[in-house]
Amino acid sequence: MTKQKKKYIIANWKMKLGQAESLTLAKEVKRKYRDGGQAEMVLCPTATALAEVGKILAGSKIKLGAQNIFYHDSGAYTGQISPKVAREIGCEYAIIGHSERRKLGETDEDVNRKVEAALKNNLIPIVCVGETFREYEEKKTEVVIIGQVTRALEDISLKEGQKIIIAYEPVWVIGSGQAVDHGIFQHIVQIIVHTAVEMGAELADKFEVIYGGSVDEENVREFIVGNISTGVIVGNNSLEADKLIKIVENINEL
Ligand code: PEP
C-alpha cells in the first residue's frame, strides 16, 4: 500500500491576537485536535507568542511555525527574528515572503536568502507567491508566479530529507472571503511544478504546492481532493479553534 502524503494546514494568526488570546487558542486547538489522519497542522502565532505557544504544543503532534525569519542567525540586526532561535524554541516551519511582508518591502532577494537560512537551520520554508489584483486583471499571473518562484529557489540546494513548500496565495483573494476557483489553482500548480522542475532535477521531488486565500471548512476539499495540492494556509478561519479543527477533519475525511 502506498503511504499517503501529508496534508499541511498552516494556521497563520498574523498579528491578530494578543498574548493571552494566542495561548488560549493554542490550548483549545490542542485539546480539540484528534490525530490519526494525514493532516499535519502547523500553528504560526505572532513572534512574541512563539516560545509560549511552543511550550503548549510540546509533546503534541501539532507543529510550530514562524510567520517570518531573518536571513542571518545572529548579529546587529535590531528587531529581526533569528532562524536559529526560532528553531531553538521549537519551530519546524517558517512562512517566507507572505504578501503582507512583501507589501512592507520584502524583496525576492530577501525571500531567496531567507529560504537558504531556513534550510540551514532545519526549518521547512513555506514560500508564499501570488499576484496582486492589478496583475491578475492585466493577465500577468503566470509571469509573476514564474518570476517569484524562480527567484525564491535560485541557487537553493536541499540536503537529503529536506523539502520546500510553495504556497500560491493570490494577494487579492486573501481575507476576501472568496477563494480562487480551484480550476485556476490547478493550472497555477502546474506552472509552479514546471518552473521548479526546470530549475534542476535536484528540486524536482523535494517541494510541495499548497493553496492560501479565504480557505474555509466548505471549500477546503476543493484544493486537496484528487491530490491537486498537499495543503492550505488558513488566515481568518484559523482564529477560532472549532473552524480550524473542522478544516482539519474535512481534510482527514478525504
Ligand atoms: C493568509 O494571509 O495567508 C491567508 C490565507 O489569509 P485568509 O485565509 O484570511 O485569506
CA angle 39–44–48, rounded 5-degree value: 155
Q: State the closest ligand 1 atom to the C-alpha of 176, by its place in the atom list counted from 1.
A: 10
Summarize the confidence of residues 140-167 as an average pLDDT: 95
Residue minimizing CA distance to atom 1 of ligand 1: 235
Calculate how far, in angstroms, residue 244's C-alpha sits from the geometric centre of ligand 1. 13
Q: In this model, does residue 63 exceed pLDDT 50?
A: yes
Calculate how far, in angstroms, residue 160's C-alpha sits from the geometric centre of ligand 1. 31
**Residues for the chain: how many in total?**
254
Calculate how far, in angstroms, residue 188's C-alpha sits from the geometric centre of ligand 1. 18
- DSSP secondary structure code for residue 70 in this structure: -
Q: State the closest ligand 1 atom to the C-alpha of 100, by its place in the atom list counted from 1.
A: 2
Q: CB atoms < 10 A from the CB of 85, how many?
A: 17
C-alpha cell at 109: 532577494
Band (218; pLDDT cuts 50, 70, 90): very high
CB-based contact 129:95 (threshold 8 Å): no
Domain count, the chain: 1
pLDDT at 3: 60
Question: Cβ < 6 Å from ligand 1: which residues?
Answer: 12, 169, 174-175, 212-215, 233-237
Backbone angles phi, psi at 181, to 5 degrees: -60, 135
- The CATH number of the domain holding residue 234 is 3.20.20.70
pLDDT digits (tens, 9 = 90+) for 7-25: 999 999 999 999 999 999 9
pLDDT digits (tens, 9 = 90+) for 107-130: 999 999 999 999 999 999 999 999
Q: In this model, does residue 1 exceed pLDDT 70?
A: no
| Residues of the domain holding 199 | 7-252
Pocket test for ligand 1, best of 93, 96, 211, 236 (most atoms within 8 A of CB): 236
Calculate how far, in angstroms, residue 80's C-alpha sits from the geometric centre of ligand 1. 23
Report the C-alpha gap between 89 and 75 in whole angstroms. 18
Tell me if 1 is assigned to some domain: no
Which residue numbers are catalytic?
A: 98, 169
Q: Among 194, 187, 196, which residue's Cα sits nearest to residue 223?
A: 187
Q: Among 227, 214, 210, 217, which residue's Cα sits nearest to residue 42?
A: 210
Angstrom distances, CA of residue 136 to CA of 147, 152, 183, 229, 233: 14, 20, 15, 21, 20
Q: State the closest ligand 1 atom to the C-alpha of 213, by its place in the atom list counted from 1.
A: 10
Round to the nearest angstrom and report the end-to-end CA distance of the chain. 17
Pair type for strands 91-96 and 63-66: parallel
DSSP helix/strand/coil, 72? coil
Q: In this model, does residue 27 exceed pLDDT 80?
A: yes
